[in-house]
Amino acid sequence: MGHLDGKIAFITGAARGQGRAHALLLAEEGADIIATDIAAPVDTVRYPASTPEDLAETVKSVEALDRRIYSFVADVRDYNSLQAGLADGVAELGGLDIVVANAGICNDIAPSWEIGESDWQATLDVNLTGVWHTAKAAAKHLMDRGPGGSLILISSTSGFRGIPNLAPYNAAKHGVLGLAKTLANELAPYRIRVNSIHPATVHTIMIDNESTARVFRPDLDNPTLDDSLDALRKVNLWDTPYVQVEDIANAALFLASDNSRYITGAALPVDLGMKEKYSGL
Ligand SMILES: NC(=O)c1ccc[n+]([C@@H]2O[C@H](COP(=O)([O-])OP(=O)(O)OC[C@H]3O[C@@H](n4cnc5c(N)ncnc54)[C@H](O)[C@@H]3O)[C@@H](O)[C@H]2O)c1
């Protein structure tokens, strides 16, 4: 018996990183999966993009757990293809109970007044509009299924704080929090829960690259994640630099399952206490 037996979950950004971890854990707990990813570069992003092979690996791993999975390639910025792919997945698997709006990017860092128009726009388009598109495409399917649905929006500790040199990312992730609160109100009459998760640094390619390492080590020319470890530890109450993808998937599982049946409109930090220590940032 799994916590999600008979449920169907839609996950964006599912080719790798946290998205793949969500797909695997929810499938382990009995859910069938609808998985999507752009599986290609986003123009402004300077770290390596996910690939169709990454998405195929997620599919293979879910199937190895004996669960069904419907996957499609879509850019969350393109509402029509996202909506069409999800509708096909829902038709194929038979409904929709859980959504994890996880796809996201992080552009190069810079003070707010130096950020380029395209970097600003791409971050807002993917990290905020893409999450809205996901909720918009999914809401009707969740309502069709009746009470008990769970919509989970992936924000960040950046959704609470103003980390220097990350203005578009902070702004988009604050926006995700506002969207989650709004949707929680709007979907309450349908008994559909809406919550956001706010991870601290998570060990994925998004942080394990030179461009992001510069957030924490602006003093170095070519910093690596290893160079950032002390700086990362300092922002947390615990002496741990980052969390793992499974830590975020465990939070998503809780919010997806009936164990959180009376929790809606909540913003759940998985942040090693970062929020408390740096609340003034
Ligand atoms: N890694 C961190 O430290 C961290 C911390 C807090 C929040 N987050 C958030 O967690 C989420 C997952 O990030 P991750 O750490 O797994 O990074 P990741 O880069 O490994 O995964 C992100 C996935 O989203 C996909 N994606 C990007 N743009 C897309 C688009 N336009 N349409 C569809 N798919 C797209 C990518 O192809 C990739 O597979 C993001 O929303 C991110 O902002 C990450």
Convert the pLDDT of each residue in 181-228 to its tens digit. Answer: 999 999 999 999 999 999 999 999 999 998 888 878 888 988 899 998
What pLDDT is attached to residue 281? 45
> pLDDT tens-digit profile of 28-51?
999 999 999 999 999 999 999 999
Distance, in Å, from the CA atom of 64 to the CA atom of 41, rounded to the nearest integer, reads: 28
- Residue range 153-176: mean pLDDT, rounded: 94
Return the residue whose CA atom lies nearest to atom 1 of ligand 1.
202
When computed from its CA atoms, the radius of gyration of the chain, rounded to whole angstroms, is 18
268: phi then psi, degrees, rounded to nearest 5: -95, 110
The pLDDT of residue 212 is 81
**Which ligand 1 atom lies nearest to the CA of residue 212?**
3
In this predicted structure, which of 6-15, 225-234, 271-280 has the lowest mean pLDDT? 271-280
Q: Check: CB of residue 122 under 8 Å from CB of residue 167.
A: no
**Considering only 121-135, 149-163, 263-277, which range has the smallest mean pLDDT?**
263-277
Q: Which positions are annotated as active-site residues?
A: 169
Written as six digits, the tokens of 146 are 């009746």
CATH code for the structural domain at 8-200+244-265: 3.40.50.720
Ligand 1 site-directed mutation target among 20, 34, 38, most atoms within 8 Å of CB: 38
Element (H, E) at 152: strand 150-154
Phi-psi region of 23 (alpha: psi -120 to 50; beta: other; left: phi over 0): alpha
Mean pLDDT of 93-121: 96
Q: Are 17 and 208 in contact (CB under 8 A)?
A: no
